[in-house]
Structures are given as structure tokens and as C-alpha cells.
Amino acid sequence: MAIPISYNIRNMILRKRLTLMTALGIALTVTTTVFLMMLLAGMRKAFVSSGDPLNVLVLRKGSTSELTGGFTKDKMPILRQLPGIATDSHGQPMVSGEWVVVVVLPRRNGTAEVNVTLRGMEQDGVELRAKKAKLVEGNWFASGQREVVVSRSIHDRFSHTNVGDMIDFGKGAWKVTGVFDGGGSAYDSEIWTDINQVASQFNRQGAVGNAYLRATDPVAADSLKHRVADDQQLQLDGMLETEYYEKQTANGGGIRLMGFIVGLTMAIGSIFAATNTMYAAVAYRSREIATLRVMGFRRGSIVTSFIFESVLLALLGAAIGIVLMLPFNGMSTSTSNQVTFSEVEFSMRITLQVVTTAVVFAVAMGLIGGVAPAWGAARREILAALRD
């Protein structure tokens, strides 16, 4: 015969101070875990959402980054002739040779100067990213001009980034002609301009850092990727843009490790707190436990009841912890991209996966913390418990 759930709930209410203290201890562990997972979820969204499954990134063979993937310009005409490439608004192959460099800009608040990604591209570079990047103010940069468009995030965080302002980097000043919205992708941390201006200003004439090819469909994109990699004349590597940004989520490895260490340390403390609470419950309710035995409840039912009560405590703590973290959902923060060595901004996200993991983590703490007290309660002799 099972013990009613109402029995556990009633006892939690009767010992509300102890219940609340234990739940808050578990909530503290959950909030820390959720916070770190929100960082990872936001970082992953920023990188993974940047990729388009129809865009194929071309780099020098053996290169893993746009910063180190340069190759000579004479390979661009060959790339443009590959089958499966979509056409742009002018009926030409949608291909963009690009350079990615890092420049230093001062923050608006004057606290520091930070590395920022500058992407030089051909006009097709804007068109093949049209689904991700939308112009919200001003105009796109003009070819052959020392003009830039900045992401809304760059505009909000750095000095001299209003439309019409002049930014100093490279060999001179650049005019800001527009502001675009990157839709929460890694593009939100970039400045865009004409590739020829970047090549001239940073002494990179005669080559391109990488190239983007827009495929007609996913099958063509996969075919293009392999065709580029297998062409012995080109000596280049091809990968889907989604694959490239997926690899950059390795930036979260440090946060993931830190989250595991901190979460495990705090979880051990919370497990001890839950264990102490349940031991206190056993001592406080020894006569009740004996009475339950006299009434015919088996030891297995008592073990199950106390473990369930410990899990209820953990779920209460999880609920409190998740609610406490809700105000941080959508909050912007930044980290250093270990591939480009520039700052990347992203928003922390509470996702279903984050919530589910937090709940499972809390339940695990409740289960571990409740086993020993529950077993002790079930093993007590009836007469000894009645005399306590």
C-alpha cells in the first residue's frame, strides 16, 4: 500500500522554514547552472544562426579560419564557373571574395578599446546574406569607396559609429553609411565594407581571404563543397557555412567546463542540505513513521515516500531558481571569439533544453539526497521509534 502524496505535502508545509531553506539552497545551485547554460545557449544561437545551408565557404586547403584562409585571386574565375551556383539579381554567379581582418575600436563609455571584426566583401556578399542581415538605417557601402556599414550592436557599443561619422582604422578614416541588423547572429559583431578597400588598406592585394558561393539548393551546396575540396587544381577546401559556425561553438568549451565544476561543487552542497533536511524529517517524525508501519505500510512504501518528498523539495528549488533567472533572459553580453580574436556579442537564452536540464539536475540532487534518510526511516524498529 502506497503512502498518499498529501502526507508529504502536509509535512513540507508544517516544516515550512526548513523546507524553504533547503529549497533555496537547491535554487542557488540551479540558478548558477541555468546562468552558465544560458550563456552557452546564447553563444550557440549567435554562431549557428549565422550559417546558411546554401552558402559554401571556400578556404585555403588546411585552413580552419577565415583569418588564415587566403588564396590568390586567379582562382576566383574558376570558382564562379562551378555548376550549382545560384545567380544574383544581375544574373551573375552569386560569389563573393572576402577578407576578414581585426580592427580596434573604442567603446562608447570610454572604458576600453576592443577587437572588432571587419569583413571586406564584394556586392554579392550582401545579397547572399540577405536573409540574415537587414539594413535599418542609411545605405549599404559603395564599391570602390572607403565606406562601411556597422551592425546595430557595433553602433550601440562603439564610438563614432553613427551614420555620417568617420571611423579611424587601417591607413585612414572610413565613412559610416549605414546600420544593419544581423538578427542575433555573429554578423551582429561585424563591420562590412568593400573588399578592394580592405585589400588596399591592409596590404593584401592580389589575393582573397576566402570566398562564399551561394548554391541553388541544399543538394547543390553539398556537391559544391566536395567539388571544391576534390579539385586538385584549386587546392582549396569547401565547407557549408553552417558547419563553419558550428565549429566555432567550441568557444563555449571553457564555459562548459567551468559550469560542470561549479555546478558539481554546488550540487554536492545542495545534496548534503537535502540529506540533512530529510534526516531531520525522519527524527522529527519517528513516531509517525512507526505509526505508518503499524498501519500496515511496508518499508518499500516508506522509502518511496521519503525519496518522493526529497524530490518535491528539489523541484521546488528548481522552480525558484528558474524564476529567479527569467529577468536575465535576452540580456546581452559578449565574449572573445578564439578563432578571430575579436569580440562577439550574444544574448543569453532560457530555452526548453536549459529548463529541462535544470529540472533533471535538481531531481537528481533530490534523489541522491533522499536515499540515505529514506532507507534509515524504513529500517527503524517500530517499538524504538514509538519510544522516541
Mention every residue, 6+ apart, whose C-beta is less than 8 A from residue 178: 135, 137, 138, 139, 140, 141, 149, 150, 163
Residue 30's pLDDT is 83
pLDDT tens-digit series, residues 128-178: 998 889 999 999 999 989 999 999 989 988 999 999 999 998 888 999 999
Residue 1's pLDDT is 52
Residue 275's pLDDT is 67
Residue 26's pLDDT is 81
Those residues of the chain that have pLDDT short of 70 are 1-4, 7-8, 46-49, 249-260, 262-264, 266-267, 270-271, 273-275, 277-290, 332-346, 374, 376-378, 380-388
* 176 CB neighbour count, 10 Å cutoff: 23
Residue 236's pLDDT is 93
Residue 124's pLDDT is 94
Residue 268's pLDDT is 74
pTM over 0.75: no
With vertex at residue 356, the alpha carbon angle to CA 353 and CA 357, rounded to the nearest 5 degrees, is 85
Residue 20's pLDDT is 83
Contact 80, 124 (CB under 8 A): no
Pairing of strands 113-121, 166-169: unpaired
Contact 178, 137 (CB under 8 A): yes
